[in-house]
């Protein structure tokens, strides 16, 4: 997580933690949520450091002696100021990441209050996030494993054979108990995942918490206790599939490449893959990785064979 995203989140977390008018029990509960969030993002020593920063922000807010109504108004102004400050620093995608974590924060352990939702809505408006996508993110975080919305922006990964919904996407994986739900945010190409089930599933080596939403990145892999891993490309490919839409095939047919001095830069290679798949190229220094990429992308013309789409 970048420093910019973390700074924005800590400041907004501190404001939202006291949004219930000084309820000590609620504030303690939310501090625990922040601590758990930080421990899932950073090593223990760094998590303690950032938690101390959160405590300092929280203490500064508690020193404000204004009445409840004035304090609420001041917090609203602070939310606006923080969002406006980071608006230019954060990419559009990073704003969505901040928003998802805030929605998760106000819904953790209990139902979000009206004031919580007002603050989160203010953040979404200031970040110029379309109302439709904000509503999808809100509904996704609020949802539970017993609900299945039939939307083209959702993917369900489970052990069932075949699709059970008309518009939503489905990915079969026999090794999963329960289900993974994935929300696609098209405007920024972001995928947010949550797991409902009893298994220990690992995302990029880190255990997936059932009450957490995880933003998937290029190259991510999910590992259930049984069966093959689920790769980012599998999820991407599931969303790319549409009725009546032809897939694109990328093919390298017996390609070779020789440098002008006659040195062999690339031995015969055959490759064929369809759209939505991620391919890794591995090899030591000088093994020809860059040469292969330059042949595949058209920068170099192969000495033999051809590359087609």
Model pLDDT for residues 157-166, shown as the tens digit of each residue: 998 887 778 8
Last-in-domain residue among 120, 142, 164: 142
Q: For residue 306, what is the DSSP state?
A: E
In a domain, 275, yes or no: yes
Q: Is 121 found in the same domain as 15?
A: yes
Q: Is 286 found in the same domain as 193?
A: no
In a domain, 149, yes or no: no
Q: How far apart (Å, rounded) are the C-alpha atoms in residues 301 and 285?
A: 22
H/E stretch holding 206 reads strand 206-207
Burial grade of 13 (CB within 10 A; 0-12, 13-18, 19 or more): buried
Q: Is 134 found in the same domain as 158?
A: no
Q: Spell out the per-residue pLDDT of the chain, length 309, in tens.
A: 677 778 888 888 888 877 655 556 666 767 877 887 787 678 889 989 999 998 888 787 655 545 555 666 766 777 788 788 778 788 888 889 889 988 888 887 667 778 788 888 988 998 999 999 999 999 999 887 777 889 999 999 998 887 778 889 999 998 888 899 999 999 999 999 999 999 999 998 888 877 788 889 888 999 999 888 999 988 988 887 765 567 789 999 999 999 999 899 999 999 998 876 778 888 888 888 999 999 999 999 999 999 999
Q: Is 123 found in the same domain as 63?
A: yes
Q: Is 77 found in the same domain as 14?
A: yes
Task: Note the maximum CA span of the chain.
Answer: 82
- Here the CATH number for the domain that contains residue 214 is 2.60.200
In a domain, 148, yes or no: no
Asked if 134 contacts 44 with a C-beta cutoff of 8 angstroms, the reply is: no
User: Residue with structure tokens 């704003």?
Assistant: 95
CA-CA distances (angstroms) from residue 20 to 11, 127, 284?
A: 16, 24, 57
Q: Is 69 found in the same domain as 88?
A: yes
Contacts of residue 100, Cβ cutoff 8 Å, sequence gap at least 6:
137, 141, 192, 213, 215
Closest CA to 303 of 250, 255, 251, 262: 255
Which residues span the domain enclosing 296? 249-308
Q: How far apart (Å, rounded) are the C-alpha atoms in residues 212 and 93?
A: 19
Q: How far apart (Å, rounded) are the C-alpha atoms in residues 116 and 103?
A: 9
Last-in-domain residue among 188, 207, 240: 240
Q: Is 43 found in the same domain as 131?
A: yes
Q: How far apart (Å, rounded) are the C-alpha atoms in residues 155 and 170?
A: 5
In a domain, 129, yes or no: yes
Last-in-domain residue among 142, 177, 195: 142
pTM above 0.85, yes or no: no
Q: Is 235 found in the same domain as 111?
A: no
Q: Is 201 found in the same domain as 116?
A: no
> Please, which residues bridge with residue 250 across strands?
273
Q: Is 207 found in the same domain as 89?
A: no
Q: Is 136 found in the same domain as 24?
A: yes
CA-CA distances (angstroms) from residue 197 to 39, 60, 104, 108?
A: 22, 40, 18, 18
Asked if 286 contacts 246 with a C-beta cutoff of 8 angstroms, the reply is: no
Asked if 136 contacts 43 with a C-beta cutoff of 8 angstroms, the reply is: no
Q: Is 283 found in the same domain as 163?
A: no
- Here the CATH number for the domain that contains residue 11 is 1.10.3680
In a domain, 135, yes or no: yes
Domain count, the chain: 3
Give the torsion sign (CA, 264, 270, 273, 279): negative
Closest CA to 174 of 241, 123, 220, 225: 225
| Burial 103-142, CB ≥16 within 10 A → b, else e | bbbbbbeeebbebbeebbeebbebbebeeebbebbbebbe
In a domain, 191, yes or no: yes
Closest CA to 277 of 222, 242, 239: 239
In a domain, 117, yes or no: yes
In a domain, 28, yes or no: yes
């Amino acid at each position: 997580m970048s420093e910019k995203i973390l700074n924005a989140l800590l400041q907004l977390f501190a404001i939202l933690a006291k949004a219930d008018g000084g309820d000590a029990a609620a504030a303690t509960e939310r501090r625990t949520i922040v601590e758990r969030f930080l421990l899932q993002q950073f090593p223990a020593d760094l998590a303690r450091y950032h938690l101390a920063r959160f405590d300092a922000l929280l203490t500064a807010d508690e020193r404000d002696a204004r009445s409840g109504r004035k304090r609420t108004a001041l917090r609203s102004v602070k939310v606006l100021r923080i969002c406006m400050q980071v608006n230019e620093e954060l990419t559009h995608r990073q704003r969505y990441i901040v928003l998802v974590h805030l929605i998760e924060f106000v819904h953790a352990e209990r139902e979000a209050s009206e004031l919580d939702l007002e603050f989160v809505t203010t953040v979404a408006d200031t970040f110029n996030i379309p109302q439709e996508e904000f509503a999808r993110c809100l509904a996704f975080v609020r949802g539970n494993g017993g609900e299945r919305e039939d939307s083209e922006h959702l993917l369900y990964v489970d052990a069932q054979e075949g699709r059970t919904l008309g518009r939503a996407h489905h990915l079969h994986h026999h090794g999963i108990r329960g289900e993974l739900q994935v929300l696609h945010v098209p405007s920024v190409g972001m995928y947010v995942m949550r797991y409902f089930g009893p298994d220990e599933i690992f995302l990029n080596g880190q255990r997936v918490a059932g009450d957490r939403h995880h933003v998937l990145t290029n190259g991510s892999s999910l590992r259930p206790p049984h069966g093959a891993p689920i790769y980012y490309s599998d999820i991407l490919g599931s969303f790319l599939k549409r009725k009546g839409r032809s897939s694109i095939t990328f093919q390298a047919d017996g390609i070779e490449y020789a440098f002008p001095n006659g040195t062999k830069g690339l031995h015969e290679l055959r490759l064929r893959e369809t759209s939505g798949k991620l391919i890794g190229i591995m090899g030591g220094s000088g093994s020809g990785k860059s040469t292969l990429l330059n042949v595949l992308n058209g920068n170099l013309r192969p000495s033999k064979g051809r590359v087609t789409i």
